[in-house]
C-alpha cells in the first residue's frame, strides 16, 4: 500500500506554499511532478557526463553513449519490449505524428482510419492531415456511461480500416478501454493497431507484449520524468519498413547528393542530437515507479477515485463525466458545477452578457480553488470533439498520482463546497 504522505516528501515542489498553504497538486494528467531522484540524476549527467552521443571516439562521448543506451534498455523493460523497438521522441504527440506521417505513406484515397470519440487532439489532428490525400476517418461511439460502445467498434471494423488508433485511458473521462480485445479484433481485419498510452503507462501495469498492439506511445513528463522525452514503441518489423519522419544527422547510414540510406532501427527515427539528459531523467522515473510497483500505483488511484465518487454527490448540482464503475477508470475526475452549455451556446451567452443560472464556469472553479492552493485543470483538455459529444464547452478536472492522498480528495470537496456557496450568492 502506498503512503502518499511519505512519497510527497520526495517531490521538492510540493513543499511550496501558495496563499499560505502547501500546494495540493491535482493536475498530473497534464504533467506530473518530479521526484528528487529524477532531478539529481539529470544534474549528475550534466555535471559529469555531458557529451554528444554516437559520434565521438573520446572517453566522455563513449560514456555518454553508454548511459543513453542503458536508459533505453531500462525504459524498454518497463513496458516489456526490446531496446531496438524503443524510439525516443519528445512526447506522445510527436510519436503519433511520426506514425501518421510514416504509415500515411502507405495509404491511398478511400483508405480508412478508425479512432474513438474520446481521443486527445494528438490522436486526431495527425490523422486529419491525411484527409488531403483522400483518407477517411471514422470514430467509435461511447455509451451512456462513457465507455466505448464495443458493438459500434465491431461494426466500424467491418469497413476494414487500415489503421486503428485508440487511447488506453481517456485524459478527460478516465475511461480505461479494453485495448487488448480491441487489438485482437483489429488484427483480425488486417488493421495496424496503435495505442495512445499517455495516460496509461504512468498509472497502471502496461506490457507491450501482452496488449496485441503494433505501436504504443507515451510521454516521460506524465510519469515523473522530465519534459521533452517520450517513447514510440513498435514491433521491430513494422519499424523496419516505415519511412523516416525527420531527416538529418544520426538517422542515416550513407548520404550522397542524389540520395541517402537509413540507419538501423531505432536510430532511423532519431534525427539530430537526442535529449540524453531527458533519457536519464526518464530512466530514473522508471526506477522510481518500479520501486513502488505499478499494481500499487493503480490500486492507489482507484482508492482515490472511489473516495471521489463517494463525495461527489454531496456537492449540489455537480455533474461528473466518466464511468460510474471505479474499476473501469483511471485517476481522472472531470466535472462541472451546474449546467455548462455547449461551446457555441456559451459564446452566444457571452456576447449577450448572460450566464446560465446556478452554474459555475470551470475557469472560475479553478481560479477559486487556486486561492486555496489546490491546483486543478479547466478547459477542453485538448479534447474539443469530446466536449462537443458531451454537449459542454469545458469541464473542471482533478487528476491524481502517487503523491496524492485521501486527505487531498477530501480537501478538494471541502473547497468545492466553498466555491458552490460563493457563486450561489
Check which CATH number belongs to the domain holding 392 and give it.
3.90.1150.10
Domain assignment present for residue 170? The answer is: yes
pLDDT of 346 strictly over 80: no
- In terms of domains, do 81 and 109 share one? yes
- In terms of domains, do 267 and 356 share one? no
**248 half-sphere exposure, CB direction, 13 A CA radius:** 8
CA distance 220 to 416: 31
- In terms of domains, do 282 and 310 share one? no
Mean pLDDT of 50-54: 95
List pLDDT tens digits, range 137-186.
999 999 999 999 999 999 999 999 999 999 999 999 999 999 999 999 99
Domain assignment present for residue 276? The answer is: yes
Banded model confidence at residue 345, pLDDT cuts 50, 70, 90: very low
Of all residues in the chain, the percent with pLDDT exceeding 90 is: 93
Banded model confidence at residue 342, pLDDT cuts 50, 70, 90: low
- In terms of domains, do 286 and 413 share one? no
Least confident of 68-77, 84-93, 333-342, 383-392: 333-342
- Edge-to-edge strand ranges of the sheet holding 163-167: 86-89, 230-234, 215-219, 192-196, 163-167, 112-116, 136-140
Which triple of cell numbers denotes residue 54?
554516437
- In terms of domains, do 235 and 313 share one? no
Question: What is the pLDDT of the chain when averaged over all its residues?
Answer: 95
- In terms of domains, do 285 and 237 share one? yes
Which of 270, 290, 310 is a domain's end point? Answer: 290
Extended strands (E) in 209-276: 215-219, 230-234, 252-255, 260-262
C-beta neighbour count of 248 within 10 angstroms: 11
CA distance 269 to 247: 8
| Residue partners of 414: CB distance under 8 A and separation at least 6 | none
- In terms of domains, do 253 and 298 share one? no
Query: Angle between the 406-424 and 294-311 helix axes, to the nearest 10 degrees?
Result: 30
- In terms of domains, do 321 and 409 share one? yes
Which of 260, 290, 320 is a domain's end point? Answer: 290
- In terms of domains, do 234 and 314 share one? no
Domain assignment present for residue 140? The answer is: yes
For the chain, the straight-line distance linking the first and the last C-alpha, in angstroms and rounded, comes to 42
CA distance 222 to 121: 17
Task: Look at residue 402 and give its three-state secondary structure.
Answer: coil
Print the domain residue range for 354.
293-424
CA distance 347 to 28: 29
- In terms of domains, do 329 and 394 share one? yes
- In terms of domains, do 56 and 190 share one? yes
Domain assignment present for residue 109? The answer is: yes
CA distance 289 to 293: 6
Domain assignment present for residue 420? The answer is: yes
Domain count, the chain: 2
Domain assignment present for residue 215? The answer is: yes
Pairing label, strands 136-140, 112-116? parallel
Domain assignment present for residue 415? The answer is: yes
Which triple of cell numbers denotes residue 310?
463517494
List pLDDT tens digits, range 244-264.
999 999 999 999 999 999 999
Extended strands (E) in 263-331: 318-321
Q: What is the CATH number of the domain that holds 148?
A: 3.40.640.10
Query: Angle between the 276-292 and 59-78 helix axes, to the nearest 10 degrees?
Result: 40
Which entry of 81, 169, 213, 382 is annotated as an active-site residue? Answer: 382
- In terms of domains, do 297 and 240 share one? no
Domain assignment present for residue 27? The answer is: no
Which of 275, 290, 305 is a domain's end point? Answer: 290
User: Does 382 qualify as catalytic in the annotation?
Assistant: yes
Amino acid at each position: 500500500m502506498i503512503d502518499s504522505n511519505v512519497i510527497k516528501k520526495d517531490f521538492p515542489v510540493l513543499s511550496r506554499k501558495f496563499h499560505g498553504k502547501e500546494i495540493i497538486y491535482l493536475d498530473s494528467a497534464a504533467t506530473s511532478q518530479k521526484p528528487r531522484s529524477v532531478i539529481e540524476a539529470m544534474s549528475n549527467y550534466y555535471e559529469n557526463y555531458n557529451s554528444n552521443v554516437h559520434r565521438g571516439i573520446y572517453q566522455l562521448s563513449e560514456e555518454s553513449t553508454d548511459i543513453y543506451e542503458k536508459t533505453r534498455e531500462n525504459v524498454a523493460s518497463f513496458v516489456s519490449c526490446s531496446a531496438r523497438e524503443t524510439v525516443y521522441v519528445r512526447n506522445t504527440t510527436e510519436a503519433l505524428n511520426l506514425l501518421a506521417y510514416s504509415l500515411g505513406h502507405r495509404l491511398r484515397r478511400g483508405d480508412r482510419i478508425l479512432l474513438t470519440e474520446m481521443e486527445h487532439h494528438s490522436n486526431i489532428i495527425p490523422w486529419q492531415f491525411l484527409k488531403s490525400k483522400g483518407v477517411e476517418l471514422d470514430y467509435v461511439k461511447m455509451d451512456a456511461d462513457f465507455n466505448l460502445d464495443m458493438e459500434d467498434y465491431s461494426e466500424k471494423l467491418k469497413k476494414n480500416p487500415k489503421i486503428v488508433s485508440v487511447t488506453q485511458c481517456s485524459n478527460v473521462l478516465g475511461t480505461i478501454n479494453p485495448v487488448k480485445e480491441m487489438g485482437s479484433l483489429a488484427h483480425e481485419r488486417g488493421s495496424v493497431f496503435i495505442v495512445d498510452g499517455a495516460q496509461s503507462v504512468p498509472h497502471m501495469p502496461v506490457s507491450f507484449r501482452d496488449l496485441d498492439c503494433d505501436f504504443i506511445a507515451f510521454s516521460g513528463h506524465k510519469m515523473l520524468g522530465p519534459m521533452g522525452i517520450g517513447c514510440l514503441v513498435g514491433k521491430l518489423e513494422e519499424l523496419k519498413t516505415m519511412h523516416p519522419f525527420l531527416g538529418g544527422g544520426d538517422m542515416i547510414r550513407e548520404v550522397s547528393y542524389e540520395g541517402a540510406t537509413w540507419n538501423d532501427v531505432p536510430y532511423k527515427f532519431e534525427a539530430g542530437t537526442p535529449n540524453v539528459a531527458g533519457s536519464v531523467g526518464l530512466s530514473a522515473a522508471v526506477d522510481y515507479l518500479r520501486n513502488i510497483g505499478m499494481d500499487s500505483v493503480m490500486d492507489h488511484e482507484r482508492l482515490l477515485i472511489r473516495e471521489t465518487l463517494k463525495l461527489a454527490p454531496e456537492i449540489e448540482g455537480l455533474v461528473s463525466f466518466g464511468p460510474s464503475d471505479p474499476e473501469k477508470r483511471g485517476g481522472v475526475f472531470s466535472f462541472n458545477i451546474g449546467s455548462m452549455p455547449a461551446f457555441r451556446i456559451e459564446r452566444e451567452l457571452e456576447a449577450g452578457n448572460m450566464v446560465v443560472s446556478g452554474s459555475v464556469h470551470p475557469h472560475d472553479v479553478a481560479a477559486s480553488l487556486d486561492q486555496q492552493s489546490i491546483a486543478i485543470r479547466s478547459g477542453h483538455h485538448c479534447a474539443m470533439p469530446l466536449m462537443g459529444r458531451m454537449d459542454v464547452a469545458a469541464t473542471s478536472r482533478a487528476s491524481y498520482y502517487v503523491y496524492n492522498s485521501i486527505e487531498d480528495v477530501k480537501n478538494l470537496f471541502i473547497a468545492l463546497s466553498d466555491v458552490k456557496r460563493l457563486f450561489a450568492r
